[in-house]
Amino acid sequence: MSNVKVEIHQTLQNSTTTLVEMTNSFATTTEEDKFLAQYMAQLKADPKIAELPHDQAHPQISKALQERVRSVNEDTCDPGEENSFFVCDLNEIRNLHKNWQKELPRIQPYYAVKCNPNPLILRLLADMGVNFDCASKLEIETILKLGVSPERIIYANPCKVSSFIRFAAKQEVKKSTFDNVEELYKIKKFHPESELFLRIATDDSTAQCRLSTKYGCDLENVDELLAKVKELDLNLVGVSFHVGSGASDFSSLYKAVKDAKFVFNKVVDEYQLPKLKILDVGGGFQFETFAESSAVLRMALDEFFPEGCGVDLIAEPGRYFVATAFTLAAHVIAKRTVNNNKEECMLYINDGVYGNMNCILFDHQEPNPRVLYHDNKFHYEDFHSSSPKPECPYKVSMWGPTCDGLDCITKEYYLKYDLVVGDWLYFPNLGAYTSSAATPFNGFDQTADIIYINKEEPL
Ligand SMILES: *Cc1c(COP(=O)(O)O)cnc(C)c1O
């Protein structure tokens, strides 16, 4: 250990190496990058890591979709009866929770409510012992109304409305994040008992939804915040970060944990503040890459916050807990043939970018259209393709129901069947950042019905 320190010291003297690297267990960042690149390559090559945590309940989802579609007669139904709808598998959420406990047993999740504030899901999560990440007065209220105690909430918005801070104080919601000095003045004034998490910025350059451009304090600016915490005599309890969502390179998680450790050390060594008690590793976890991100995270935590180190671990997963629990079904309402070509058309469906597929714009998602019902037959899990293939000769672009040209679901997709008005499509895995931001723009009410399956725990 001392050898490493000497080496770092020498590097520091000989170069422009920053202070940050002093907490590094590697002599140089290049060495660390090399190690991480190797580690990540190894993970990606591991077949166990590529496996999805569990199978989705396709037969049951298919059955629920069919029953609903069969119940609608588009020739005689009331306006809106043929609206898009969701199937939600509550058991999927139970399975995801079990999987969380298996992969990240040391980390207590605080579900990010904004992702999908569906009351049944919030209730189920609360009953399973999941806590909550809220960002506004309404979200806090919603969770408190479930009977969840305020200690199980983190008000994880680093830039809060003053009147909401007063509300949080009154409700005894104490945990909160900050990343700037102005926020500390507000907290001193309105909620001096608050248990504060300093949110640091991360390298989220490979993430689809970057958050560190908006939030998080750079390590170079941590001193200013710690000095202010000390001056105002505030209660700093931990560090938080968010590596962004849809990341393809999870070495950012390792680096963020390491940076957090740097702050933990600084607090005690340089500011003589009480030792920090909690590390919040944020959100950004996804079903598809969960094994990989968990492995990196466990490795980083074992190095910087090993078991028994006296630091509690929490996280703020949003999409992980809901994305795969929802399937959206939508109806083909209109069709236009393109260039007199029998195999190319524009399909108009009754949900889109202003409705439950706003995630295309806001969350960089690319929903996968699949044929559900065509020619009096159901085709769940049938073939579809995003690139031209002999089995999928029908080229389509797909559009939402509003009169805005922006309302496009996909510019190019290839289907096995030549869909017609009255057919149905379904889109799997649309539970995260979908219904939570749907709008009634242009008079299309997009509050879709939800059909729940597996409401009771199966035996
Ligand atoms: C949105 C958000 C989350 C959840 O992110 P996911 O990508 O859905 O996991 C967690 N923490 C904070 C502070 C957020 O803003």
Three-class SS state of 397 = strand
> With 80 as the cut, is the pLDDT of residue 46 above it?
yes
Average pLDDT of span 247-264: 94
Assess whether the C-beta atom of 242 lies below 6 angstroms from ligand 1: yes
Is residue 28 very low, low, confident or very high in pLDDT (cuts 50, 70, 90)? confident
φ/ψ of residue 50, rounded to 5:
-80, -20
Average pLDDT of span 74-84: 93
The sign one gets for the Cα dihedral 319, 320, 321, 325 is positive
pLDDT digits (tens, 9 = 90+) for 401-448: 999 999 999 999 999 999 999 999 999 999 999 999 999 999 998 899
Average pLDDT of span 351-379: 94
* Residue among 100, 113, 115 to mutate when testing ligand 1 (max atoms within 8 A of CB): 115
Is residue 10 very low, low, confident or very high in pLDDT (cuts 50, 70, 90)? very low
Instruction: Give me 90's structure tokens.
Output: 């509550």
Assess whether the C-beta atom of 156 lies below 6 angstroms from ligand 1: yes
- Give CA–CA dist 158/282, Å, rounded: 13
Atom of ligand 1 nearest to the CA of 317: 9
Q: Roughly what angle, to the nearest 10 degrees, separates helices 222-232 and 251-269?
A: 40
Atom of ligand 1 nearest to the CA of 285: 9
> With 70 as the cut, is the pLDDT of residue 296 above it?
yes
Instruction: Give me 40's structure tokens.
Output: 């990540």
Atom of ligand 1 nearest to the CA of 432: 8
Q: Tell me what pLDDT residue 16 has.
A: 37
Assess whether the C-beta atom of 316 lies below 6 angstroms from ligand 1: yes
* Residue among 248, 316, 322, 359 to mutate when testing ligand 1 (max atoms within 8 A of CB): 316
Closest CA to 112 of 3, 242, 16, 204: 242
Q: Say if residue 88 is exposed, middle or buried (CB neighbours under 10 Å; 0-12, 13-18, 19+).
A: buried
CA of 309 to the centre of ligand 1 (A): 26
> With 70 as the cut, is the pLDDT of residue 227 above it?
yes
Q: Tell me what pLDDT residue 7 has.
A: 41
Could you tell me if 410 and 385 are in contact, meaning their C-beta atoms sit under 8 angstroms apart?
A: no
Instruction: Give me 16's structure tokens.
Output: 């422009």
Q: Which CATH architecture has domain 117-317?
A: Alpha-Beta Barrel (3.20)
Give, for 261, the enclosing helix (H) or strand (E).
Answer: helix 251-269
Residue 208 is given by DSSP the state: S
Q: Tell me what pLDDT residue 25 has.
A: 61
Q: Where do the domains of the chain lie? A: 2-45, 58-85+324-453, 117-317
Q: How many CB atoms lie within 10 A of CB 145?
A: 10
Average pLDDT of span 45-66: 91
- Give CA–CA dist 161/183, Å, rounded: 10
* Domains 58-85+324-453 and 117-317 alike in fold: no
Could you tell me if 278 and 60 are in contact, meaning their C-beta atoms sit under 8 angstroms apart?
A: no
CA of 135 to the centre of ligand 1 (A): 10
> With 70 as the cut, is the pLDDT of residue 270 above it?
yes
Place of tokens 């109304």: 145
Could you tell me if 300 and 282 are in contact, meaning their C-beta atoms sit under 8 angstroms apart?
A: no
- Give CA–CA dist 350/369, Å, rounded: 13
- Between 228-232, 264-268, 342-346, the lowest mean confidence (pLDDT) is in 342-346
Nearest-CA residue for ligand 1 atom 7 is 284
* This model's pTM is above 0.75: yes
Assess whether the C-beta atom of 245 lies below 6 angstroms from ligand 1: yes
Q: What rounded mean pLDDT belongs to the chain?
A: 91
Closest CA to 200 of 155, 160, 232, 242: 242
pLDDT digits (tens, 9 = 90+) for 156-211: 999 999 999 999 999 999 999 999 999 999 999 999 999 999 999 998 888 888 88
Assess whether the C-beta atom of 109 lies below 6 angstroms from ligand 1: no
Is residue 130 very low, low, confident or very high in pLDDT (cuts 50, 70, 90)? very high
What are the catalytic residues? 403
- Give CA–CA dist 185/164, Å, rounded: 15
Q: Tell me what pLDDT residue 188 has.
A: 98
CA distances for 254 relative to 37, 133, 166, 167, 168, angstroms: 11, 22, 36, 36, 32
Atom of ligand 1 nearest to the CA of 177: 13
The CATH T-level fold of domain 58-85+324-453 is Lyase, Ornithine Decarboxylase; Chain A, domain 1 (2.40.37)
